Amino acid sequence: MSRPLIGITTQSLQAIDGIPETLPPSVVMNQQYHLAVAAAGGAPVLVPLIAADEDALRAIYERLDGVLLPGGVDIEPSAYGETPHAKLGRVDPARDTTELTLARWALADDKPLLGVCRGIQVMNVACHGALHQDIASEMPDAGKHDWFAETGKGRDFIAHTVRTEAGSKLHEMLGDECEVNSLHHQAINALGTGLRVTAVAPDGVIEGIECDAATFAVGVQWHPEVFATRDAKSLGLFQALVSAAARARVP
């Protein structure tokens, strides 16, 4: 049987040699997501940022068996009715529109959906939730979550644990507790409609969500793709997406 097709969204590359600034930017995505999906038995497919042509985006979406929303830059706060915070990072409006559209379609159609880091935030905003635009500024009692490259730590640095909720898909996949990396400065604030918190950090930051009405719609705030080639639990998140996509695959 052929592998289920898993669409992975892309991100605008602001500059590239030989491409004039007057032309639309190139699109890129970290290969670790593609490798994790392939290792899990799926066939990764890059989805361009073409939400302005909704018919073309829909044609791609309808051929997909599952959707993966990966990590990346901040979401433009106007998408959830707020003005930019002083600590807001770089945004990518074309990606916001593309991913929010795909997330809403997937949830409406019960197409398997996995959100990673930014992806969990996109899922929340797609369901009319809101974000903390900067954890350190808005949640002063929270621990450090922004272990980016400039801190001297690698992407595989274990920053903290997360505890999962009994009876959830994340609990089934990860057990009671899991050690995770942490590469984000934003987090879920107001939870979106129809979503349930299924994993939290020791400081209360939301680290996992699920949509109970969906067959498989899961978001995690950490980056399991970093560990997927050497850690069974991390790979298991992608295997769960691929398995759900195989069961619900497009005829």
Amino acid making up residue 143: G
3-state secondary structure 184-195: CCCEECCCCCCE
Measured distance CA(99)–CA(242) in Å, rounded: 19
Decide: 223 and 71 in contact? Cβ < 8 Å.
Answer: yes
Q: Which is it for strands 206-211 and 160-164: parallel, antiparallel or unpaired?
A: unpaired
Amino acid making up residue 6: I
Measured distance CA(183)–CA(226) in Å, rounded: 11
* Active-site residue list: 117, 223, 225
Residue 116: other Cβ atoms inside 10 A: 25
